[in-house]
Chains A and B, each alone.
Chain A
Amino acid sequence: MEKILLKNIENPNSTDINEYIKAGGYTSLPKAIGMVPKDVTEEVKKAGLRGRGGAGFPVAMKWTFASADPKFPKYLLCNADEGEPGTFKDRPILEKNPHLLIEGMAISGHALSAEYGYIYLRGEYPAAKHILEKAISQAYDKGFLGDNIAGKGVKFHLAVHQGAGAYICGEETALIESLEGDKGQPRIKPPFPVNVGVFAKPTVVNNVETLSNLPYLIAVGGEAYSKIGSPDCPGPKIYCVSGHVEKPGVYELPMGTILRDIIYTHCGGIKGGRKLKAVIPGGISTPVLPPDKIDCPMDFVNMPKHGSMLGSGAVIVMDETVCLVKVCYRALRFFEHESCGKCTPCREGTGWLRKILGRIEKGEGMDGDIDLLLSISGNMLGKTFCPLGDGAASVVQNFIKHFRPEFEDHIRSKTCTVAG
């Protein structure tokens, strides 16, 4: 498949606007501006584009809700708070292909009649901040941002807003709170951001990868775009693979590529010819899979049928030397640290799960600890304010579901017999 999202990233000057234009960039924006906004949304609908942040929500539907709200101005926010452990798919776009994102945002801005956009960039990507700010200033100079884009009187202004180290700000209402200068704690829905978002105005929040699909989508049209990847869930997808594979990294492949092929064909299989033990397919919050369950198409529609989720497409591969009790404990240490503290099941539950997993990991586990973990996580599922708590609970439940003997062995042997 030709590269769409990671096109030209090997070019050392790929961040420069002239290089982007030379490679055919900034031609979809004038084309989109020549269309009435609702026709742009119609193309996105025909394309079947789903949000790439993790939830897979149909993009055109979100846009239609925001467009239908009579309040102005409207805002477009790019979620560049890429913090899901294992995920590094947006970073190459932000650092190597910033104009693709800017062009995508300007196209989306026109479709929404949004006049202002912000890129909410995680604090841990300082290099990307400078690259994006320089690219934005180049786009203003060439008239692709500003008050009169492509000489057609279309207005769209864009700025970078830097986060400050809070995973929860990847949740869209927490992101909005943070952009408004508050603690990143999620809001209750409804009202949804498409009606009452940032500064109480209709707001669309889309992921970096989602928005970066738009220049190509508009160039070829929704129908041609929909032929790429899974029929249920079209388009290219950036899978980012880490852990024990021969060739970890980012792979732009058709959406719906089989997980086993990603690991064994594209990434060269398990490092050193060792045995596969477990795979987390879509970032740490998604359910872990044992080696016999990896023949699944990696898209938003099919992964739930195979017992997991696509999430961010962040594949973490673990070989036989890894202690899964330790991995589960480390994941819960993360969730406890990142829980925003707003709701009790998440704030307390993540802490208790971490403590119990910690004692099992140290060889101090007690009989009944596994049932206690299942009971606490069962009391969190579906009862937390936002998906962070659900993610934490489901991590524990799925590790135990697939690898219970390893937890039992830890408690019985009072030590780790896998990693020593």
Chain B
Amino acid sequence: MFSEAAKKELQEIRLRYPNARAALLPALYVAQREFGWLSPDAYETVSDLLGVPKAIARGVGTFYAMYKHKPAGRNIVQLCTNVSCMILGAERLVDFLKNKYGLEPGGTTQDERFSLVIMECIGACGTAPAMLVNDDFYENLTENYIEEILQRYK
């Protein structure tokens, strides 16, 4: 179930659109925040609150890369490896995360502190290589800098 605050937030979101279906993407974001990932319960709650069939909600949700369909770590490391980042060393950073933290692309550390998602361009090409940790941008990455950044996330 959604918290009362989340229900209220969803009602406000709903008012921005002429129909309930258009509120589906933002509703899935709210659900992901509330449940931690888009579990079957999360889909059921969104479906009931918006009056959108469950199969449609799930079909739409699974199309998009930023909705999570398994439990994730407390912090999401989103590292770009597309061309501009790749030619400036992003692959070395993927190896570093694997060797230093046991963090594989698509995987989560054993202590559930970090999950790693490989991104397809995050619009920070001029300061490559770059990543997002949760909602925070980090640019001009090196192995040492990543180590320093990740210490801030518990």
Contacts and interface: CB of A to CB of B under 8 A. Distances in A.
Interface in A66-84: 82-84
Ordered nearest first, which 4 A-B pairs have the shortest CB separation? Answer: A165-B65, A164-B64, A181-B24, A242-B125
A327 B86 contact: yes
Contacts of A162: 25-26, 29
Interface string B11-47: 0000010110111111011000000000000000000
Interface string A116-151: 000000111111000000000000000000000000
A244 interface: yes
A199 B25 contact: no
Nearest to A340: B63
A122 B28 CA distance: 15
A322 B128 CA distance: 15
Contact of A179 (B22, B52, B67): B22
Contacts of B28: 164
A122 B67 CA distance: 13
Contact of B120 (A182, A184, A334): A334
B125 A87 contact: yes
A308 B120 CA distance: 23
15 contacts: A124-B66, A124-B119, A126-B132, A162-B29, A164-B29, A164-B66, A167-B120, A179-B22, A199-B18, A248-B128, A284-B83, A314-B125, A327-B83, A330-B83, A340-B63
Interface in B96-154: 119-128, 132, 135, 137
Nearest to A249: B126
A340 B64 CA distance: 10
Nearest to A201: B18
B87 A244 contact: yes
A387 interface: no
A330 B86 contact: yes
A249 B84 CA distance: 12
A319 B86 CA distance: 13
A178 B26 CA distance: 11
B124 A85 contact: no
Interface in A322-344: 322, 326-327, 330-331, 334, 337-338, 340
A246 B128 CA distance: 13
B82 interface: yes
